[in-house]
Structure 1
């Protein structure tokens, strides 16, 4: 088959798809990729043909505030609404026209599309192509038992919480995401495509796909009243890596003296410009705990941080090979990027999570609900709160035990193999 992958030019969306693409390529399929120019070299190294954005705006982790200076001043619901309209909804017709144009050079049989591209209805309905929705974040499909997105709610436990969450859902639909929904509908109207009024904008990729690849195990999702048979939970989909991994960014645990515990700290690859949010409070919290502390800055402020924290037990790198480091990690301190959280749990490492924006509050709510980490419910936690949470996890084996049980869920499948099988099993669109 000719298989087209399509994704945002954002690491957390692109990287988890690479393992699946390479597995399909190894199984004899011809694979091409539509994404931003920033991944040209990466795709060339993988031997995958690249179709760069032509009309579409390339939204990257490092250029969002440059493209939209006003974004830096927004927080909470205002930031969510802005991102929904500018970064996701406004690009839909551009994505579609680019894909329709490239089809002349690459007449693909099936498309595997990042859920945040929101181009699923146009590609499946107007091009008649089977489409697989790839979800690199928690399951976005609405359900009566699942809290509304972006608020960091856990499933309601009583009537009061149900009322509060219902009100928040209305606020999200009618106010926060209204500009994004209106933009999405306007663009579809131009193509004669009617978008159903029922449900939410985030349901669209699920409606208009023949199958859904959902990263993570089902046990890490909230309980649902309605089970969508098209959704396939495949486990932790990791970036593709050669059989013999090694590189300057990898951290070898034996390069430093032995410590009673190892802690890993990161603030992700998007919201990492202001290290006072998590990295510096975390270092202040744990620097004197007698633990090995490994910090991944995401490529920002690394040298300054090294100078600020020259202690022998603190290792600061631009990037860290988490898959290797988590083999000897005791606690992962993170703002809640879904990929890092999954990798941590797939290796049985409990977490301290602290993040709100970019949907991280919903990831962290799942960490808390599953009992595999402590959620600090803050974008800028105090060192004392971080220290207390880390000490709690180190002192109580039950945290590690629950993380290990979650690891067993991840170990049940080969994620790339399961995802490749989903792609190979699709058929012609049936509408939606």
Structure 2
């Protein structure tokens, strides 16, 4: 079986595809990942072949320019100010532009290579475009709560310029089936065909530091703010320094997992800070009692897989979306940026560490996640889908 993967050029979107790519290759199948040319080294670093497609598009640079024009990106949103579904989804136009830039090269390759199946992350619209034009199934692989579940309502409006270029009215942007890594309590409730899929964290290449091999002597709290805000130049949204200040008087060990460039945001760390800088998130969170973060999909799901209670301080619409769904499970707390004062942060972290309800809820989500089919176990479903287009009965998706 030949499987064409598609991603746009952000690690947080590509990394969740990697374990399934490994599983398919281990089962003897061919995998090629379509991406923007500058992203090819990131793809190949994970051991998968890259297909550089189209003129290069600096997704972060384009997104940075568009975010600067939006009120909610210039500072914290209103306390209850999640933009409505239409406003949120219209922000996906950058994904359409990205796909349009890649489309000609991807289609030329696909028509020659003749894949049996397409796997794509939710913003890589070149994937379902190619699948629709080739008449083959496509699989949308989520990495967190389904922020784009309502895309079908706006697909014609969003995709029209690109779709019409290829003689289509729609491209099937939600795919033939969605692989959903969220436990039932965390899922969006809708009628889309979904199949359970275990989130296996891959946070990029990493070396395990010596200090992480030692068990902590007191509760360990991870403070991280992802990588996207750094790349977008939105340091005013990175509240990690304030979190570190809030934790200074607690009897905890603080590990600050940030980019190299963000080290300068912590000029005089308190004595209970063990590390500041890059650190592999999966093994770190396995040793933590709590994590404080911004609501990014990778951190949210890696912490879920580790069974760690979370404090989320979101700014962006997708982060707010993740935070609200996660908080409803009991495994996390949420503070708005206005509520995230030093005192507010300290009290919230203390509650995460002392309230057994949060620990129990986080452990429950981990158990539900561990019960979902692994990437290796999912290969048979994809083989069946590619062979005859059939699927087992979709998993139940109870209302929340």
With the shorter chain as reference, the TM-score category is: 0.7 to 0.9
CA RMSD of aligned residues (A): 3.1
The aligned counterpart of 2:247 is: 286
* Structure 1 SS opposite 2:139: strand
Cα pair 1:8 1:58 within 8 Å, conserved: no
Q: Using a 3 Å threshold, how does the CA distance of structure 1 residues 6 and 379 change in structure 2: closer, same or farther?
A: farther
Tell me if the contact between 1:278 and 1:379 (Cα under 8 Å) persists in the aligned partners. Answer: no
Quick check: 2:304–2:362 contact (8 Å CA) kept in 1?
A: yes
Report the Cα offset of residue 401 of structure 1: 1.0
Aligned equivalent of 1:117? 124
Alignment match, 1:2: 2
CA contact (8 A) 2:179 2:196 kept: yes
Aligned to 1:190: 165
State the shift of 1:358 in Å.
Answer: 5.0
**CA deviation digits over 1:323-368, x for unaligned, max 9?**
2122221111010112211121222110100113151111000111
TM-score, length-scaled by structure 2: 0.83
Residue deviations 1:40-78 (CA, integer Å, cap 9, x gap): 334334443211131462414xx3466x2x533523359
- Residues of 2 paired with 1:353 and 1:301: CA distance? 19
- Counterpart of 1:221 in structure 2 is 187
After TM superposition, list the pairs within 5 Å mapping 1:275-354 onto structure 2: 277-302=238-263, 304-309=264-269, 311-354=270-313
CA–CA separation in structure 1 for the residues paired with 2:288 and 2:318: 25
How far is 1:124 from its partner? Answer: 2.6
> Counterparts of 1:24-423 in structure 2 under 5 Å?
24-55=24-55, 57-60=57-60, 63-64=61-62, 68=65, 71-76=67-72, 77=83, 80=88, 83-85=91-93, 87-104=94-111, 106-140=113-147, 142=149, 182-195=157-170, 204-206=172-174, 209-222=175-188, 224=189, 226-228=190-192, 230-239=193-202, 247=207, 252=212, 254=214, 258-272=216-230, 273=233, 274=235, 277-302=238-263, 304-309=264-269, 311-378=270-337, 381-423=340-382
Q: What runs of 5+ residues in structure 1 fail to find an aligned partner?
A: 144-148, 150-172, 197-203
| Contact 1:43-1:49 at 8 Å conserved across structures | yes
Contact 2:206 2:279 in 1 (8 A): no
Aligned to 1:163: none
Contact 2:186/2:329 (CA < 8 Å) preserved in 1?
Answer: yes
Is 2:22 aligned against 1:22? yes
Greater CA deviation, 387-396 or 73-82? 73-82
Q: Which is worse superposed, 382-391 or 92-101?
A: 92-101
Alignment check: 8 A CA contact 2:212 2:284 kept: yes
What TM-score results when the alignment is normalised by the length of structure 1? Answer: 0.77
Separation of aligned partners in 2, 1:369 and 1:261: 25
**Residues 266/64 of structure 1: CA separation in 2 closer, same or farther (3 Å cut):** farther
Task: Tell me by how many angstroms 1:192 deviates.
Answer: 2.4
**Could you say which residue in structure 2 is the equivalent of 1:154?**
none
Q: Distance in 2 between matches of 1:84 and 1:382?
A: 32
Q: Count matched residues.
A: 374
SS of the residue 1:371 aligns to: coil
Q: CA deviation at 1:130?
A: 2.1
SS in structure 2 opposite 1:232?
strand
Contact 1:326 1:347 in 2 (8 A): yes
> Contact 1:263–1:330 at 8 Å: present in 2 too?
yes
Cα distance between partner residues in 2 of 1:363 and 1:250: 33
CA gap of 1:26–1:13, structure 2 versus 1, over 3 A, is same
Ranges in structure 2 where 5+ consecutive residues have no aligned partner:
73-82, 391-400
Secondary structure in 2 matching 1:264 = strand
- Per-residue deviation at 1:375? 0.8
CA contact (8 A) 1:89 1:181 kept: no
Q: What CA distance in whole angstroms lies between the structure 2 residues aligned with 1:424 and 1:35? A: 24
